[in-house]
Chain A
Amino acid sequence: MNFLAIFKLTIPVMMGYIPLGMAFGLLLSKLLIPWYYAFFMSAFIFAGSGQFLVLTLFASQATILEIGIATFLLNLRHTFYGLSMISTFKNFSWKKHYLIFGLTDETFALLKTTEVPESNRENAYLLITFLNQCYWILGSVVGAMLGNILPFNYEGIEFSLTALFVVLSIELYKKNRLHKPFFVALIIGLFGMILFPPQKMLILSLCAAAFVLIVFKRSMENGK
């Protein structure tokens, strides 16, 4: 896959990450934190909701211990992503640590649905992850520096991430041999969205999904 093809794949993420990153940078500057910390956070943490959480905790003067625990719990969902990447990353070189580091919701989504010939898979994955992180860093730094004075009304552009997840769900549904997990996830997601508190919705729903997937393995594999 050449650069252009990979860049095209990451455009939806760019459309989401730049405005979202800007929202993050804007919030950071509202807390009177110098702009270069936006760069450090996006370069070294690289977790959308995780970084927003840290800012929220900064605002409420949380201790570093509290910040650690909250980040860990919020990002625990990434463990599920890694679980479905073990064999994919298995024969990659040491560079896979960057792939693991960069395994955000959106990067995971792209890696899982991109068909790349095995010969240059590692490089393609690295480039996807790197481009995504560049968008995120760019957005957050620009947001922190000049979020307030941008003329364009980009309200709602973050919906591209929702649309990305919708499209990738359809792609994975077509690729997956079993279709029952899709419908189970629809039900869990819907109820999770209504019943669970928003900050814990993702991890609780993912645990419920893993639970159902494992406990009802036999009936999942029965029929189609």
Chain B
Amino acid sequence: MESSYIIGSIAVAAILTYVTRIIPFLLFRTREPSPLIKYIELNMPLMIMVILVFYALKDVKWERYPYGLAEIIGVCVAVLLHVKFKNALLSIFAATLVYMILIQKIL
């Protein structure tokens, strides 16, 4: 692979990634955001976060053994611990540990 090709691609990818991130700031730089934009601003993060959970699970093979069992158990551990103890680090550590043990040793 030629280095000019690699460098060119990296530059293009870097600029376009930044563009996707700055678009909304450019659009609303001078104008005051409308009530609709404020409503989106308030409620979209919650929806994004929930969808990111499913996005993180998108490559799970639900139709094949072990049917995503490790992921389901891991998510349940995170939810239960977090509802009970409200300690983000604990919930995340424990869920990850359970998940790793499940996929490495059990399933």
Complex CA–CA separation, A171 to B20 (angstroms): 26
Tell me which of B16, B74, B83 contacts A72 (CB under 8 A).
Answer: B16
A80 and B13 contacting across the interface, CB-CB below 8 Å: no
A149, CB-defined interface residue at 8 Å: no
Closest chain-B Cβ to A130's Cβ sits at a distance in Å of 16
Tell me which of B5, B14, B44, B96 contacts A210 (CB under 8 A).
Answer: B44
Q: How many A-B residue pairs have CB under 8 A?
A: 252
CB-CB under 8 A for A82 and B22, given A12-B89, A173-B46, A182-B46: yes
| Number of interface residues, chain B, beta carbon within 8 A | 67
Chain A contacts for B5, CB-based, 8 A: 64
A4, CB-defined interface residue at 8 Å: no
Closest chain-A Cβ to B16's Cβ sits at a distance in Å of 4
B70-94 vs A, Cβ < 8 Å mask (1 yes, 0 no) = 1100110011001100001101110
Complex CA–CA separation, A68 to B13 (angstroms): 6
List A residues 127-162 near B (Cβ within 8 Å).
153-157, 159-162
B27-64 vs A, Cβ < 8 Å mask (1 yes, 0 no) = 01000010011111111111111111111111100000
Determine chain A's interface SS by DSSP, over half rule. helix
Determine chain B's interface SS by DSSP, over half rule. helix
Complex CA–CA separation, A101 to B17 (angstroms): 8
A84 and B45 contacting across the interface, CB-CB below 8 Å: yes
| Closest chain B residue, CB of each to CB of A69 | B16
CB-CB under 8 A for A160 and B92, given A40-B10, A153-B104, A193-B57: yes
Chain B contacts for A178, CB-based, 8 A: 42-43
A46, CB-defined interface residue at 8 Å: yes
Complex CA–CA separation, A45 to B49 (angstroms): 22
A206, CB-defined interface residue at 8 Å: yes
A100 and B22 contacting across the interface, CB-CB below 8 Å: yes
Question: Using a CB–CB distance below 8 Å, which chain B residues touch chain A?
Answer: 1, 5-14, 16-25, 28, 33, 36-59, 70-71, 74-75, 78-79, 82-83, 88-89, 91-93, 95-96, 99-100, 102-104
